[in-house]
Chain A
Amino acid sequence: MQFVKASTFEEWRTVCRGLLARHVPPSGVVFGDTDRSPSLFDATDDSEALPPPADSKSPVVFRIPKSFLQAAERIACHTAPDRWERLYRTLWRMTHGEPRLLEVTTDDDVHRLVMMEKAVRRDAHKMKAFVRFRKVESPEGEHFVAWHRPEFRIVRLTAPFFARRFPSMCWTILTPSESVHWDLQQLNYGPGAAASEAPQGDELEDLWKTYYGSIFNPARIKLKMMTQEMPTRHWPTLPETDIIPDLLADAPRRVAEMIARQEGFATSAADFLPQTLTFDALRAAAAGCKGCDLHEHATQTVFGEGPVDSGLMLIGEQPGDQEDLVGRPFVGPAGKILDEALAKVGISRDRIYVTNSVKHFKYNLSGKRRLHSNPDVREVTACKPWVEAEIELVQPQVIVCLGATAARQIIGPEFRVTKHRAVPQKTRHCENTIGTWHPSAILRQPSQTRRNEMLLELASDLRLAAQLTGFGE
């Protein structure tokens, strides 16, 4: 019985070459790590005392699958004391009548080696994942240092990975048994180090924790999954694990808040539509609409008006102060601008169907004045069934959307008046849909010149609409 020292893959490999050459069967040899002293039963002689190869002139050639040597290199990192003899016995069997032994993954030796290799692979994978560098600034420049506690001796196995990944960074990885340092040129290995030798923090860690806490969805908790994949042995070096208890403690509150804050269109105009599609029925039903909260403060519903067989439909945004009081669309200052533009084109308002995207006035009180306030998307969406019903009733050949609110509702959310004005587009509502200025936008212009310009543009768009509708033929 021989006792053989093997502490690294290379040592084992060299030794095994000699053993195989001398036809030493696995039963004739005991392997031991250098850091393990041989037991009483181990032979006292070490590898140096091995007899020289039987015939050094014609060395025996063994055909060993490359995959086995690659696996053996990983298994060598394992700390189980039986790894060397398992490896040698497998090697022996492969070279003595069982060349395809590795295929029999349920064989005791192969199975044990497969399990060891798997454990090492996993440990190496976790090292690649859980090494956390901390930046140290010094006069020589930036240096990134990590302390990591792997289960096995895998520093040399994984160091090349870090060199490929961080070639332009000076970095050091410390582990209890070994350390490695990259100086932008090569890997240098050194002794192990205590955790206290590594830097204790990094300016980025708060930001990282912020990210970790925010990307976590409190509505789905799967702790078993987390601890299975992120073993607690690594938690001390992962800064984000500090906040896990807080995240969990806060999760029920966050979910309750998510659910409590749930809101939406408990109702929309859809619930108030009449059975039959006539103008009078629509108008009467709209008068009682409570599809959103706007009805609470408005005086009345301002519905569309005009000949149902018009062919041309104008859609504005929302009634203003005067419209709200009178109950008809475009009767205030904006309406006057609209009439002015129509006059330039020579169309009278009573030939056109005119309505708004939103049927109730929305305002903020400033003293006694009711200041127009823009409808939000929720209100526009809640009101949409009315406009859709009007379009279905009127079946217009051309729709002119006055302003962005109407245009986004009818043409699409990407609509920008400044960009897409005056270009007729086909929409699912109508063959020719045109977006243009809202008369109020013209009113709000501080410059008289610009106001005139915009008025002309509005008129020109209305002229185009009239032509497309066939007006004036």
Chain B
Amino acid sequence: MDGTTTDEWPPKKKQLTMSQDVQTKLKILADAAKYDASCASSGSKGTRQGSKLGSTEGMGICHSYTPDGRCVSLLKILMTNYCIYDCQYCVNRVSSDTPRARFTTDEIVDLTIQFYQRNYIEGLFLSSGIIQSPDYTMEQMNLVAMTLRTKHRFGGYIHLKSIPGASDDLLADAGRWADRLSVNVELPTAGDLQQLAPEKKEPEITHAMGTIKGRIDEFKTEKKAGFKVPKFAPAGQSTQMIVGATPTPDLEILQTASSLYNNHDLRRVYYSAYSPIPHADARLPGKSPPLVREHRLYQADWLLRFYGFDANELVAEADRNLSLDVDPKLAWALAHREYFPVDVNLAPREELLRIPGIGAKSVARILKIRQHHALQVADLKKLRVAWKRTAHFVVTADHNPGLKKLDDLHLKQQFVQQPRQLTLFDAHASAKSGEV
């Protein structure tokens, strides 16, 4: 026995070195967070005053991308994956025998600071299984954020996943430290929740969202009135729902999203295609997630927010789902051919926004350019519109598509690509050859 041995057992860990233990926990608690689709670190305008480390400047930064095509912007982890709830779609439900771990406050804080110093991340996205009670869990998460802000003067991005059922005071506290708060609606309808997550209640979820919205509004009003008020969730709130775990069609999903945007001022609704998870309930589909569907939902969501579309307009299919073959704007155009062709040199903004292949930015540019000269096909191509799609639906100074073509019943076939999602087998092959 050497002289350095003390009576202390277990021996004190050396400060700020990341132990093997932390690595094991990180593996478990990042793995448990991988099903969460949200990753954005945008929307927070100015850096908090007096920050010693970290900034937020409006636009988020993706510091890496994983082979699933998703961006790594934040250290996205769970505080713990122990959970008292039994939500059937969730790998952390109490009845799952997934390996469990819990980070201490200091471990999360150290990881965040150290990763941030290397410029690996924009900040922290902290979520958690529910332990003891919603209030206790929320308190512990707030403690992490508070420590980062006060002890370390951390000015980077913090996203806290609010725990439904936590008290309003704790939500208020969370909003003080976090840039963004989110409350997951989890599943698209109250019926889905009842079926797969009976312990999470729709009223509790919407109440939490309402409380956050109220606080954000209050902050804005007071700031406008000239008061110096502490920030409250300056990047607003978002939510996530799992898609494909229940048979709920896209129309209902989009209606839920619309009402969230309208009633709770949500910045983003994230759709996460249900992934087969270890120990999932046998009632759930045991197959790879419908990524195309998820993609179509994001496209439709975009059209709701920036293009003036209504959920009911976007879903025309008999089964009340979005078309998987073509994007939702094109699907709408094909179903409303009487609306076309639209003259890019004459039509108002709202009409231009409905032309397939032309984005909102291009529309803004078109409106400016046409004050100077009449647009031609070459102009549109320079604006990088998707001409193959757009061609059938627009009139320009030098282009007028035949109505015959527009009325062609087989028009849709031109746009349908053989849907081919990279399969895992392809990935495997390309991994072996090193070609990605």
Q: Write the nearest CB–CB distance from B89 to chain A, whole angstroms.
A: 11
With A216-B66, A414-B132 already in contact, the answer to whether A258 and B278 are too (CB < 8 A) is yes
- The one of A208, A222, A262, A408 that contacts B118, using a Cβ cutoff of 8 Å: A208
Expressed in whole angstroms, the minimum distance between the Cβ of A195 and any Cβ of chain B is 17
Nearest CB on A from B404, distance (A): 29
A365 within 8 A of B: no
Q: Which of A30-38, A97-105, A277-285, A449-457 lies at the interface with chain B?
A: A97-105
Flag if B431 contacts A249 (CB, 8 Å). Answer: yes
A94 at the interface (CB under 8 A from B): no
A467, chain B: closest CB distance, angstroms: 29
State the CA gap A203–B20 with chains docked (Å).
12
What chain A residues lie within 8 Å of B119 (beta carbons)? 131-133, 146, 165-166
Q: Is B430 an interface residue (CB 8 A)?
A: yes
Distance in Å: Cβ of A260 to nearest Cβ of chain B: 9
Cβ of A242 under 8 Å from chain B: no
Whether A168 contacts B280 in the complex (CB less than 8 A), given A225-B65, A376-B95, comes out as no
User: A223's closest neighbor in chain B, by CB?
Assistant: B436
Number of residues on chain A facing chain B (CB within 8 A): 78
Which chain B residues lie closer than 8 Å to A167 at the CB level?
51-53
A252–B26 CB distance below 8 A:
no
Q: Decide if A226 touches B281 in the complex (CB within 8 Å).
A: no
> Which residues of chain A are near B64, meaning CB under 8 Å?
129, 212, 230, 238, 240
User: In the docked arrangement, what's the CA distance between A378 and B97, Å?
Assistant: 10
Residue of B nearest to A257 (CB): B278
Q: Which among A134, A217, A408 has the greatest number of chain B C-beta atoms within 10 A? A: A217
Residue-by-residue, is B32-55 near A (CB-CB < 8 Å gives 1, otherwise 0)?
011100000000000100011111
**Which of A125, A210, A229, A255 is the most central at the interface, judged by chain B CB atoms within 10 Å of its CB?**
A210
Q: Known: A168-B53, A211-B26, A249-B431. Contact between A258 and B277, CB under 8 A?
A: yes
Whether B22 is near chain A, meaning CB under 8 Å from some CB there, is: yes
Whether A377 lies near B95 (C-beta < 8 A) is yes
Residue B288 at the chain A interface, CB threshold 8 Å: yes
Asked if B143 CB lies within 8 Å of chain A CBs, one says no
Residues of chain A lying within 8 A (CB to CB) of residue B109 = none
- Nearest chain B CB to A412 CB, angstrom units: 7
C-alpha gap A223/B68 in the complex (Å): 7
Q: How far is the CA of A104 from the CA of B375 in the complex (A)?
A: 10
Give the shortest distance, in Å, between A97 (CB) and chain B (any CB): 12
Within 8 A of B (CB), among A132-169: 132-135, 144, 146, 161, 164-169
A444 at the interface (CB under 8 A from B): no
Contact partner of A103 among B68, B276, B368, B383, CB < 8 A? B368
Given A252-B428, A414-B132, do A262 and B286 touch, yes or no (CB 8 Å)? Answer: yes
List of B residues within 8 angstroms of A371 by Cβ: none
A50 within 8 A of B: no
Asked if B27 lies at the interface with its beta carbon under 8 angstroms from chain A, I say yes
A261-B289 in contact (CB<8A):
no
Instruction: Name the distance in Å between A106's Cβ and chain B's nearest Cβ.
Output: 4
CA distance A412 to B204 in the complex (A): 15
Given contacts A220-B291, A223-B422, A413-B86, contact A208 B369 (CB under 8 A): no
Q: How far is the CB of A429 from chain B (nearest CB, A)?
A: 13
In the complex the two chains form, is A105's CB within 8 Å of B365's CB?
yes
- Which residue of chain B has its CB nearest to the CB of A125? B61
Partner of B279 from A165, A210, A229, A263 at Cβ < 8 Å: A263
Tally of chain B residues near chain A (CB < 8 A)? 87
Cβ-based interface call for A49 (8 A):
no
Q: How far is the CA of A350 from the CA of B27 in the complex (A)?
A: 55
B interface secondary structure, majority: loop
Binary contact track B80-95/A, C-beta < 8 Å → 1, others 0: 0000111010000011
Q: With an 8 A cutoff between CB atoms, is B10 at the interface?
A: no
CA distance A134 to B427 in the complex (A): 31
Q: How far, in Å, is A406 (CB) from chain B's closest CB?
A: 15
A66 contacts B by Cβ under 8 Å: no
Whether, in the assembled complex, B388 has its beta carbon less than 8 Å from a beta carbon of chain A, the answer is no
Q: Are B275 and A219 in contact (CB under 8 A)?
A: yes
Q: B22: which A residues are within 8 A, CB to CB?
A: 207
Residue from the list A219, A261, A263 in contact with B288, Cβ < 8 A: A219
Residues from chain B with a CB closer than 8 A to the CB of A202 are 118
Using CB atoms, name the residue of chain B closest to A168: B52
Contact flag A169-B117 (CB < 8 Å), given A164-B55, A219-B288, A224-B422: yes
Choose one: B57, B88, B118, B289; the contact of A135 (CB below 8 Å).
B118
Give B275-302 as 1s and 0s: 1 = Cβ < 8 Å from A's Cβ atoms. 1111111111011110100000000000
- The answer on a CB contact under 8 Å between B432 and A249 is yes
Interface centre among B67, B71, B120, B280, by most chain A C-beta atoms within 10 angstroms, is: B67
Write out the residue numbers on chain B whose beta carbons fall within 8 Å of the beta carbon of A378: 95
Q: Please, which residues of chain A bring their CB within 8 A of the CB of B368?
A: 103-105
Q: Is A214 an interface residue, CB under 8 A from the partner?
A: yes
- B94-A413 in contact (CB<8A): yes
Point out residues on A near B: beta carbons under 8 Å: 100, 103-106, 111, 125, 128-135, 144, 146, 161, 164-169, 202-204, 206-208, 210-227, 229-230, 238, 240, 244-245, 247-249, 251-252, 255, 257-259, 261-266, 376-378, 381, 408, 412-414, 416
19 contacts between A and B (CB under 8 A): A105-B365, A105-B368, A132-B119, A164-B55, A167-B53, A168-B52, A203-B18, A204-B18, A208-B118, A215-B66, A221-B424, A226-B66, A247-B67, A249-B431, A251-B67, A263-B280, A264-B279, A377-B94, A408-B84
- 15 further A-B pairs in the complex, CB-CB below 8 A; given A212-B64, A377-B86: A105-B365, A106-B383, A133-B119, A144-B118, A165-B54, A165-B119, A167-B52, A167-B53, A208-B120, A214-B28, A220-B69, A223-B436, A229-B69, A263-B280, A377-B94
Which B residues contact A (CB, under 8 angstroms)?
18, 22-23, 26-28, 30-31, 33-35, 47, 51-55, 57, 59, 61-72, 75-76, 84-86, 88, 94-95, 111, 114-115, 117-120, 132-134, 199, 273, 275-284, 286-289, 291, 365, 368-369, 371-373, 375, 378-379, 382-383, 422, 424-425, 427-428, 430-432, 434, 436
